[in-house]
Structures are given as C-alpha cells and as structure tokens.
A and B are shown apart, each in its own frame.
Chain A
C-alpha cells in the first residue's frame, strides 16, 4: 500500500508539473498576447512598453519566467494578476473557494439523498410502472445541459413567475456569504443547488439501481431473506452497503472535479463568484497568473481525489490491484 501511495504521489507531482508547463507554453504561444502592452495602457510609445516589459520580467527567457512565477505563487505567495495589479492571486482563490464549496456541498447533499431514494424506489417497485418512469426521469436529467437548465430556471423564477408566491422569494443572482447572512446565503443558493444536482441525481440513481439489482441475486441477500429479515432491513443494511462501492468511488471523482472548478457553467449562469467563474473570467481576459493558479488548484483536487478513489476501490475490492 505504501508503495502505491508513493507511486501515486510522484505521479501527481509530475502531472501537476506537466500541466503548469503546458499552460505556460500555451499562453505564450497564443498569438497576439502581450501583457506588457496591456499594462502600459493606451497608445504608449515603444520605449515605455520596453520599460514595462523589463519591469515585469517579460523579456527574460521562458524557463526563468516560469520559475519566477512558480516562486511567486508558492513561496512568496504575492503573485499578482495581469489584469489588475492590486489583485493578488492567492487571496482571490481563497475568497472564491467558500463560494464553490457552498455550491458543490449543497448540491452533493441533495444528489446523494435523492439519487439513493430514486434508486431504491426503482428497485423496490421493479416490475411496476414506477421503475421505468423513474429511470426515464433520470435519463432526462442526464440529457439536459446544466447551463441551459440554469437559464430556464432563471427565466421561470426571476422573470415569468417571479411575482407568484411560488418564486417571489428567489433573490437576484449573486452570492451572500454564510457568515454575513445565513438566510440570504441559503436563499441565493437554492435554485443553483437544484440545477446542479439534477444531472447527478439522474446518473447516480441509475448507477445505484444497476448495482442494487446485481446485488439482489447474490447469495447473502437470499440468506438474509431466508432468515426472515424484513425487506427494509435487507435493503438498508445488506444491499445498500454492498452496492455503495461504485457509488462512493464515482462520487469521489465527481466531487473532486466540481470542487476544483468544474461547476464553471453553473457559477457563470447564476453569477456566483466561485473558482469556476474565476477560471472563466481569467480565460476571457487571458490573465496568466490567475489561469495558472486556478489550473493548479483544479488539477490538484482532481488528481488527489482520483488517487483516493483508487485506494478505496483497492481496499474494498481485493480483486483489483491498484497501479
């Protein structure tokens, strides 16, 4: 196990390094990108631009620039954005993290609860109309692009039916910190939570249903029933626990991706200033320091969750040897 952990850690560091180098190279290889020109404002003369370039170290060779940026990001932690020199990158990410965490955690709670409910109900009512109906709903949930669903949600809750009692409580797009006003924090996040979780409820309900059906035919379930245990007890204590392996490992991967900035589309549509929106804004303005920081942040979470999930899989299913 330790050998595996060490191998994965080395792998993770290599992957992060490769990603940062690639991001750096892609940025400077994109034609028309000239941060010095952006800093020097409008219609400067060439000497000014050259002076600015020198001041920001943009005339040094690429590896030196890369090393300097990494140093300022990790060691001195005073890396500033190309778009606004007063914006420090690390505090910006730190400020955006609680927003993303609020969004993703809330959505995760919703989708865990509802997908388990849906999957279990579909299995319990297998053979009746309920099962295919729930599965069709799940499939529809998977088939809707999350940004479109968000736009439609905004249309309904903020415009068309905003004046009815159903949606008059929905506040305009934005985010209110939990520490500032818990009730407003909650109200601002309800619709985004529902929107983000729809896709995952559909997916996880199907995964759980398939696993439960598989487990249903196993010996230990038959034994439990033969022992005279009630169906609920059989379901909850015996079947669910054994079907959760795939569920848990997939959840780990998805959660990692979302925390790392994968909820970008939801954040953009609902105007939530999280890590995803920060990534999107920095890509629009080609602001390399912020791009680099968000890329590393996201890649870190994704690779670490991927490794954790592999460990869980290996522990729970001895047939699989981790690599």
Chain B
C-alpha cells in the first residue's frame, strides 16, 4: 500500500541519517572529545610554563627546555624509551627499523628507515633527509657541529660548507631507505650522538636559515605557532603512527608560555592558570609552594665540582688535592647553596648512569685535611679561587674559599662575567689554580664526561675543557680504549667505574653536588601521571588529568 511504503521509506531515511550522524559524531569525537577507546588518557590541553627556550629548530636547539618539547616533535634514527629510571637510557629504534649493524672495526654503521614514514605535511621521509640534516647542522653553524666532525669527510665539509657539497661519510639510498655512515675513527658514543635532536631528519627543501617552529615534524606532535615573547603551541601530528617505543601522547594540544620569573610561573600553577611549571623555585619559597601544588624533584645528569690545576702549585701535590676533598663538608653545602636540593657526591658521573658506583674515598675530616696540608708543606700558599658571576657559583666558591683558608692556605676569590668565564679558565696563560665548574650532560654516555673533561690527550692551550689540566698515562689509555666500544654493556660499564675510581684517587676535582630541580604541577594532575624520563625530564606525552 502507498501509506505503508511511505512510512518504510521514511524509516529508511531516518535510519541512514541517524547512521551518518553517528559516524560524524564518532569522527569528530576522535579529534576533540576527551576520551576515546584507543586512548583513554587523552585530554584536550596541557598548559605548561617554561622559563626560556633557545630555538625550536632541531639543528639549533641546545637547552634542556627546548629538548623537552622537541623530543616529541622531531624524531631521530635512534631514540630513548618513554619509561622511568635506568631503562630510559637505553637506546631503541626511532625512525630506524632497528638498531644498526656496526662493522667490526666500529667505523661503519648501517641503518634502514621504517616503511611509510611521513612528515606532518604529508611528504615522505627520505633517507637523504638525514644527510641533509647533518649538512644543515654545518651550514647553519648549529652548536652541535662539534659532535659530528668524526664522520668521514665532515671536517672537509665544515671548512667550506655549501648546500650542494658532499659529506663523503654519509651514503643514502632513498629507494632502499638505507643510510650508511662511515667514521674517520671509531667512537664509542656515536649511537648516542645520533640520538641527539641535532641529527633529526628534516625535509631536503628546508633552507639553512634558522626556522623556529615551522619545520615539518616526524613525531607525535608538531609546532603550530611560536612567538618568542609569549611561547609556542604544539598540536597532534596526524601523520604520526605510534610504535612500540614512541607513544601517541595524551594531550591533544600543548600550550607553552615563556615566563622568566620563577615566582610568577609558580603562582600561575597555584592559581590554576597553568598545569606545569619548570621554573627554578628558590629554596626559601619551595616549602611554601609544596603545600599548594604537586612538587616533584627531578634529578638530572649534572655534577658541580671544584677543579684543581695539577700544573699549578700548590695543587701540583696530590696531598693538597686530597686535603681539599677531605675539607669540604658536602652535606652542609647542599643546604647552603640549594637549600638542601642536591645530593652530595664524590663521583665524576651523576647517579643516573648505569656505570655509577658511589665513591666514598673522602669523608669530611678537617683535622686530616690540615695534616695533609702541613705534610705537603703548602701552609700559607697563596691561592686564587675562580668563579663566575652567577649567585650559586659565587656562593659555593665563597664557601670553598673560606674552607681553604681554614685548612691553612691563603685563598681569595675572583669572579668573572658569565660570558668570559670558561674562555678565561680554559686558557693556559691564565694559570688558574682552582675554581668552580659544573657539567650538564649532552648525551648519556660516559665519554661525554671523561673524554671531554678528564682525557689528557684532548687538552688544548685555549678553550680547554679539562680545567684541571689532568693527564695520567694510565687513565688516558683506558679512556682511549673504551672509545672503541660502541655499546655500553655491563662489562664496559664496570670498566668505566674503575677508571672513575682511579681518577678520583688522583683527586683532580673536588666534586660536591648533583643538583636536583623542582618541577611543579597543579593539583589536578594526578601523581601517577607524572613520569620522569632520565634524559628529557617530565614526559609530556604521558601526562594526564
């Protein structure tokens, strides 16, 4: 009958419309609705406050804050897992299919890119893009240039870098998605250097000029906008496919404000205007802030130490250097300098390293220190202590100077502006005897410490990083030998621990602290969502609300 058919037709239309509507709702929900079955922890927006960043260009960025954001934006061939504690230091494949095959002599590395990789603008990721990234590093004089000069042909390229020039040590095949890297000499830390964001592939069309926030990304997020005076915004990269090691990320959007004043940033979190701040809350305010939000204290890989130039009297005598190590009260220094937010140390490496074995060579003993000074005949020796004009450096050096005076030396403090400090103490003509220094790791490998700071073979007359001018045939040889080990096996780590102990027995340094940094969260972020990745700090991908 006509009436029934009309009703049936109407029902059919309603059913189709309803179905379409539900599909539309499902699609839109996938983009904007808080929770979906595939990612129950997703949430719309993370509002973060950072004190400063330097660049958002992968070949330029060199601060922990910039890397915190860019780790989830620009992927590298190898990367680190989004897990806590020691496992977070383990290298895993990022854009590469698997860990590379390494030739027996440690000089040739073979990689193959994963299939179907795309940038956030939809273009394919090519093997040659990796080579372009390294070339771009030299072309734009990024601060990572020093890391890649061991690639064959890199030094020649660096002397006159051009867009069309070639680095003979990098051979890529786009059809086969392969990358072969040849080194001029083997480097035990090369894999970790490849995992630095400096080596993140960028499209071949990206010019060498610095671009902050506009280069297409390969990670779970991409940059939407960047205003140097206000901050930047990250949104999801829809071309990203999560892997076993790289998750999709919980926040749909990350809004980062740049606020230099740590107290203002902390107040924003307390007021609810922001979810997270990395500002360095000063020790006398930290107890107050703790009750109003969620405070996490994050250890990062740093060591603060006093170096002693073994070529300059009185520190050319081992007894004097040992006396200094006995004299400083490391626990008290944590309270004085950071209000307690630091761990006393006598090691070169911080405790975040798998090879770390806590050294207890020098327990605080002023009497013994004075005896050693007398025995060495150094009583009354004139000493100039160097520090840079930053408050924590001046404070710790002031304490250090008074300790030196109390054990019988005649010490006085000299301070220099931040910009000239390292070049001055790194210049042999200064004849600097002792002073303040700290090292923040570039990448998680002991070579970043021992080779740069304590290898006698790498001492230079100017721009020297080995401020103690420390050299010792035995430890130098051991460091050179360990350079050839490309993977940090437990055996290799044990050898590093031995080298560290031998060096500290010679006491070129008096290390005193591994500083701990406050990370402050609004109470709406549950504690279980806060994960500290060993290298990159608070994992923004795993934060939730």
Contact = CB atoms under 8 A, between A and B. Distances in A.
Interface stretch (B110-118, B342-350, B413-421, B531-539): B413-421
B463 interface: yes
Contacts of A172: 261, 263-264, 267-268
Contacts of B228: 86-87
Contacts of B268: 172
Interface in A129-163: 158
Interface in B121-173: 141-146, 149, 155, 158-161
A164 interface: no
Contacts of A286: 417, 419-420
Given A39-B141, A39-B143, A284 B57 contact: no
Contacts of B259: 174
Nearest to B159: A51
A17 to B, nearest CB: 26
Interface in A30-89: 30-34, 37-49, 51-52, 55, 84-87
A173 interface: yes
A74 to B, nearest CB: 22
- Using C-beta atoms within 8 Å of the partner chain, give the interface range for chain A: 35 or more
A109 interface: no
B420 A42 contact: no
A182 interface: no
Contacts of B146: 40-45, 48
B149 A45 contact: yes
B145 A31 contact: no
Nearest to B421: A32
A82 B260 CA distance: 20
A25 interface: no
B178 interface: no
B38 interface: no
Nearest to B265: A172
B210 A271 contact: no
B212 interface: yes
Interface string B244-274: 0000000000000001110110011000000
B229 A271 contact: no
B493 interface: no
A271 B145 contact: no
Nearest to B420: A32
Nearest to A174: B264
Contact of B212 (A48, A86, A95): A86
B465 interface: yes
B55 interface: yes
A285 interface: yes
Contacts of B264: 172-174, 271
B286 interface: no
A31 B427 CA distance: 11
A323 B149 CA distance: 62
Nearest to B389: A284
Contacts of A86: 55, 57, 60, 210, 212, 228
A250 B452 CA distance: 58
B460 interface: yes
Contacts of B143: 39-42
B478 interface: no
Contacts of B158: 47-48, 51
A47 B210 CA distance: 22
A297 to B, nearest CB: 18
Contacts of A284: 389, 417-419
Nearest to B198: A41
A41 B144 contact: yes
B155 A173 contact: no
Interface string A167-189: 00000111000000000000000
Nearest to B270: A172
A173 B149 contact: no
A287 to B, nearest CB: 8
A8 B62 CA distance: 48
A55 B57 contact: no
Nearest to A88: B228
A47 B141 contact: no
B423 interface: yes
B329 interface: no
A40 B137 CA distance: 11
A228 B156 CA distance: 94
Nearest to A285: B419
A311 B281 CA distance: 51
B424 interface: yes
A53 B198 CA distance: 21
Contacts of A38: 419
Q: Among B57, B160, B263, B424, which residue has the most Cβ atoms of chain A within 10 A? A: B263
Contact of A47 (B159, B261, B263, B460): B159
Which of A41, A174, A273 is packed against the most chain B CB atoms within 10 Å? A41
Contacts of A55: 141
A285 B418 contact: yes
A33 B420 CA distance: 5
B392 interface: no
Interface string B411-454: 00000111111011001000000000000001000000000100
A40 B420 CA distance: 15
Contacts of A47: 149, 155, 158-159
Contacts of B142: 41
A61 B276 CA distance: 49
A43 B119 CA distance: 32
Contacts of B149: 44-45, 47-48
Contacts of A37: 423, 463
A271 B55 contact: no
Interface string A1-38: 00000000000000000000000000000111110011
Q: Give me the 4 closest cross-chain CB pairs, A-B, nearest first.
A: A41-B143, A32-B420, A44-B146, A172-B264
30 contacts: A31-B420, A31-B424, A32-B419, A32-B427, A33-B423, A34-B423, A34-B463, A37-B423, A39-B143, A40-B143, A42-B442, A43-B452, A45-B155, A46-B463, A47-B149, A47-B158, A47-B159, A48-B146, A48-B149, A51-B159, A51-B160, A52-B141, A85-B210, A86-B57, A86-B228, A87-B228, A172-B268, A271-B264, A273-B229, A284-B417
